[in-house]
Amino acid sequence: MLYGGRQGSLFGRLGPKVVLAGSMAAAALTVLLFLGLRTVFGERGVARTAGSGDAASGAPGATEAAAAPSRAGGSPREGETKAAGGALDSAASLPLAARKMLPGEEMIGAGKAKEALAWAESFSGPDSDRHKVLLIKARAMAQLGRTAEAKQTLESIASANVPESAEARLELLRMSGKPDVAVLREIWSSDGRGRAGTQAAMMLADSLWENSRRKASVSECAEELEECRRAYSAALLGRDISRADADRIIARMDTLNRVLIFNKAIETSNPKSVVHTVQSGESPASIAAKYKVPVGQVARLNGMAEKAVLQVGQRLKLLPGKWRLLVNRSSLDMLVFWEDTFIKKYPVGIGPGDATPLGTFVITKKTVNPDWYYNGQRIPFGNPKNILGTRWMGFDPNGPGRGFGVHGTSEPDSVPGRKSKGCIRMLNPDVEELYDLAPTGTIVEIVD
């Protein structure tokens, strides 16, 4: 199951909406940031969810953009044609793909170290599982206080040049109590989205997060904060992450994104944002076309209207590049990534059963205030029977997702839920924000 969740949604709604309108608000944010990161990154300020009453759907650090003045065209037809896209064909290709656990691993997870040790010592299964069993044995011995024996076993695995070596090195690092960032980077690099790589990325990000809180200003630790974002994003896309860890990462990423992404005064390097200096005769639309981003992104990130009159020399922040949406049918949520770095999380509504198809799709058509075409009839925007809300982002009409897309809704109580005709529903403020950020060509992956 995507995100490692077993029941319901992993994540609460994203953090609070911070509106920066014009230069006075931007200056106020700068003062706030330079008062010290301990306040900005305080856990109490990011752990609450929408259920706490303080979250909003708008982009942190951005002013609500004016609605696009004209329709982009297209004929959204939710549910008329069932997509033929099948499930992704290998568990390894899924974020947080589940791996079958050995009985001893389940015992360790349940705190039954004695039983796990007895199971490992009596194991008579295939030789291919030998090093997995030795890891279980070492963890059981460590839990039972037999530290020297556990270390000896882990060292033998670490030096064996087997897939489990990275996990053994990580266990040794945990036992030392010293989060050596160089070693964590190496494990993360060598194991990628494997279990050890995921845990190493999370431990590295945790260490960088704590280090950044001791710095006086964002400028002193900008590189650390960017690496922290990348490592936390890798953890979210990796394996075997717990719900508690995922909730904690999402909350911290929300804060990091407010400071780095949705702050027009900050330029990021990896992934790289663009800061464009306005030339004579340019408009938000011409600049958006130059960098292949939605005009709404220019407006939303920089706190202005889409038809604003720009000043020569004005600096505008943009996020060009690849965008990707991961929709989980089981947990009814969507994670948004820009260049494989987490940006936002939204609740979604889908169809019952398999009405919302599994597979990978591409957004090819975007429409403001869409009409709905259903059962051969056109239901115009504004008609109470039109269920599409304020935005439509349709999938490739020549592919398996014909007739499907991401859209708003006139039935907000259906998000999250399973009441759509197969499309992905979002609350209107959420879909308007996503519409502004994500360009045509955005990949949509729908998984269980």
CA distance 416 to 443: 21
Q: What DSSP designation does 417 have?
A: B
CA distance 306 to 304: 7
Catalytic residue among 131, 221, 276, 423: 423
Q: Which residues contact 204 (CB under 8 A, 6 or more apart)?
A: 179, 181, 184, 185, 188, 227, 231
On the CB side of 3, CA atoms within 13 Å amount to 29
CA distance 372 to 388: 7
The count of other CB atoms within 10 Å of the CB of residue 377 is 8
* CB of 409 closer than 8 Å to CB of 389: yes
DSSP per residue, 273-298? PEEEEP-TT--HHHHHHHHT--HHHH
The count of other CB atoms within 10 Å of the CB of residue 435 is 28
The count of other CB atoms within 10 Å of the CB of residue 271 is 19
* CB of 180 closer than 8 Å to CB of 173: yes
Q: Are strands 391-395 and 359-368 parallel, antiparallel or unpaired?
A: antiparallel
Residue 131 catalytic? Answer: no
Question: Where do we find the tokens 């909406």?
Answer: 17
Burial of 65 (0-12, 13-18, 19+ CB in 10 A): buried
* CB of 317 closer than 8 Å to CB of 351: no
E strand intervals along 238-307: 274-277
Q: How far is CA 67 from CA 39, 263, 391, 407, 433, in A?
A: 35, 21, 10, 15, 10
Peptide bond before residue 69 is cis, with ω within 30 degrees of 0 = no
* CB of 404 closer than 8 Å to CB of 361: yes
Which of 349, 318, 348, 352 lies closest to 336, judged by CA?
Answer: 348
CA distance 391 to 435: 7
The count of other CB atoms within 10 Å of the CB of residue 45 is 15
Residue 423 catalytic? Answer: yes
Hey, is 401 helix, strand or coil? coil
**Could you give the residue numbers annotated as active site?**
407, 423
